[in-house]
Amino acid sequence: MSAGYIVVTLVFQKTGRRWTASCEELGTASFGRALPEADKRIKEVVLLHLNTLEDIGEQERFFKEHKIKFHHTKPQDVRGCAPIGKDVFFQPYVQAVA
């Protein structure tokens, strides 16, 4: 697969004094004591997951199986954050992939 981009959905939820973060398409999750920490950690986990898929040669199959659209150019029309409920929101995230 050539270099390009995917768009995934990050979901953030405040639980007590912590924020949890998950990526719906990849099934990955992380947490942080503050929202910026949770945001940073989930993006690191997403990149690690994608790099592992590439390393084992499963990226293309995984994208097809999970209906993740591959873009050859960086998507420009990606909407911002949207609330789901109190202390819960989602955010589209554009990630470069090799």
Q: For residue range 54-98, list pLDDT tens digits in order.
A: 999 999 999 999 999 999 999 987 777 677 777 888 899 999 998
**pLDDT band at 11, cuts 50/70/90?**
very high
Right CATH for 4-97 from 1.10.10, 3.40.470, 3.30.160, 3.30.1490: 3.30.160
Percent of the chain with pLDDT over 90: 81
* pLDDT for 42: 98
Domain range summary for the chain, segments of one domain joined by +: 4-97
Angle made by CA atoms 77, 40, 35, in degrees to the nearest 5: 90
Are the beta carbons of 19 and 31 closer than 8 angstroms?
yes
* pLDDT for 1: 63
pLDDT at 5 over 80: yes
